[in-house]
Amino acid sequence: MKLTTKVISEIYKDKPLESLKEVNVSRKEIDQIQDISACKQLRKLILSHNDLEGEKSIAGLKDLDEMILLNLSNNKFKDFTGFQHFQKLNVLNVSHNELIHMSPHITRLKQLKALILNNNNLLEIENIEPLLQLNTLVISHNKIDTVPRLSSLAELTKLSAAHNQLAQVPDLSHNPLLKEIRLNDNKITEIPETLRKCSAIEIMDFGNNGITDWKDVAPLGSLLKLHSLNLKGNPLSKKKDYIEKILDLVPSLRILDGERFDPKFLERKKKQRENVNIVEKKQRMKRMKLQKEKKEKRANGEMDGDGDINMTEATTAIDDKEKLKVKGTDIAKIKSKRSATKTVTSDEPALKKKRKVDDEKDMFFIKPEDKPIIEKKVKVVKAVPATKKALAKKDTITKPAVKEPVPAEASSPIANAAIAAVSTIATPQTKAQTGVVGVIDKSKKVKTANKKPTDIVAALETESKKEESNTGTGLDVGGWD
């Protein structure tokens, strides 16, 4: 089958070819790719589990300038001929193919960050020195007996060379950012001193090798960030006091041979074992309580003999729930009203609130019997500018309170005269008098997300939803061991 733009448009019917960013055509028995340059924005192309072989089969991909991820796993490639066109690639997966050697064409992929070559027939690693941005190299499940010094790969953080024929650990002293190294299932007999310089290592797997003596693992004591170590399957792991000595050598360990050993985890497990009886007792008491409640309900007629709740009780329970819902809505309305009034009244200064209390006792205000007049007077006072309010406050604070009540006929002309006098005088306003203390602009308080460096493989695999388990880079768990 040939991959053409017509085939792609049939698979992605609702999307125009120009806007496609990811195409998954795995398991389609494709043996040749024609010109699909119409997919101008294509970034991720998954061609796993097909019949592609050689440069001619992928000739139609050379004009895809935006492609950053190419998954060609489970095909029939024997070298990298034709791969020189993919100069913007970040991730290249050619696992589960028939690669015998790494041809120089790969040196053109200057922006490559992850190279996945597990499960091939490679005998050696070559032509990767120019790949200066490479941070992930997977060469497990091959026939490699030596790995050269990777001094140019200063960005390397993950190296997997498991299931090969390595007799020695490669010199990684020039890779200070290395965090994860997997060299299990080889023929390694010791951990070299050069590994002490890789102080950033967190995960190390040397399982199923030939490490026999304690001096062979002495460099582990310098790796202060190491929290996961696997030495299972080595003769050393069968020695007496193996766990205690390893933990003394590497105090930062939390996982040893696949089992957690950090103090917090062990303490939690211990409590769980000790409290098994307590947990069982609590569960038994809970069951007894439920049975007792059922008996009481049956005795009161709330439940029939089959253990079902009577309909009358159920309907009353439903009615009660509905009442509660209504009450809840009422409460919500009241809360919203209160919050609205709080926002209005919270801006009023303390002097204004004090004035409201004093106004009721002041001789200038009418008695509370004459309701409409009082409302009118309040409105008039509110309409007066802030300068008049300030003088009114001053008068109310300084004038002494009169104990004997004054008749309404005498008080009204005095109040009118006072208001007229106030209107003729203007005083400067202060923030306390106007009631505006300050305005806080909360629009500028925007939370900024913490920028954390992410692994290129993980970032590209989670960029979009996967349809199958073999999508994305195609790197399964087996590729790391």
Query: pLDDT tens digits for 207-217?
Result: 999 999 999 99
Tell me how far apart the alpha carbons of residues 256 and 276 are, in angstroms, rounded to a whole number: 26
Q: How many helices (H) and strands (E) does the chain have?
A: 11, 14
Looking at domain 1-135+456-481, what is its CATH homologous superfamily? Ribonuclease Inhibitor (3.80.10.10)
Q: What is the pLDDT of residues 219-255, one digit of tens each?
A: 999 999 999 999 999 999 999 999 999 999 999 999 9
Residues of the chain with CATH 3.80.10.10: 1-135+456-481, 153-168+175-274
Classify strands 255-256 and 69-71 as parallel, antiparallel or unpaired: unpaired
> Which residue did the predictor score with more confidence, 315 or 218?
218
Query: What is the C-alpha separation between 172 and 170, in angstroms, rounded?
Result: 6
**pLDDT at residue 71 in the model:** 97
Cβ neighbours of 131 (radius 10 Å): 23
Q: Domain 153-168+175-274 sits in which CATH superfamily?
A: Ribonuclease Inhibitor (3.80.10.10)
Q: How far apart are CA 119 and CA 95, in angstroms?
A: 6
DSSP of 398-442: HSPPPSS---HHHHHHHHHHHHHHHHT------HHHHT------G
| 39-96 per-position pLDDT tens digit | 999 999 999 999 999 999 999 998 898 999 999 999 999 999 999 999 999 999 999 9
- Can you give the C-alpha Rg of the chain in angstroms? 40
Q: Which residues contact 373 (CB under 8 A, 6 or more apart)?
A: 366
How far apart CA 335 and CA 327 sit, in angstroms, is 12
Q: Is the pLDDT of residue 468 over 50?
A: no
Cα–Cα distance between 338 and 466 in angstroms, integer? 49
Q: Comparing C-alpha atoms, which of 476, 473, 481 is closest to residue 48?
A: 473
The C-alpha atoms of residue 113 and residue 133 are separated, in whole angstroms, by 5
pLDDT given for residue 333 in this prediction? 56
Cα dihedral value 193, 196, 202, 208, nearest 10: 0
What is the band of 408 on the pLDDT scale with cuts at 50, 70, 90? very low
User: In 3D, which of 421, 353, 363 has the Cα closest to residue 387?
Assistant: 421
- Please give the model's pTM, rounded to 2 decimal places: 0.60
Report the distance separating Cα 265 and Cα 245, nearest Å. Answer: 19
DSSP H/E element including 6: helix 5-11
Percent of the chain scoring above 90 in pLDDT: 51
Query: Average per-residue pLDDT in the chain?
Result: 76
Task: Report d(CA 112, CA 203) in Å as an integer.
Answer: 23
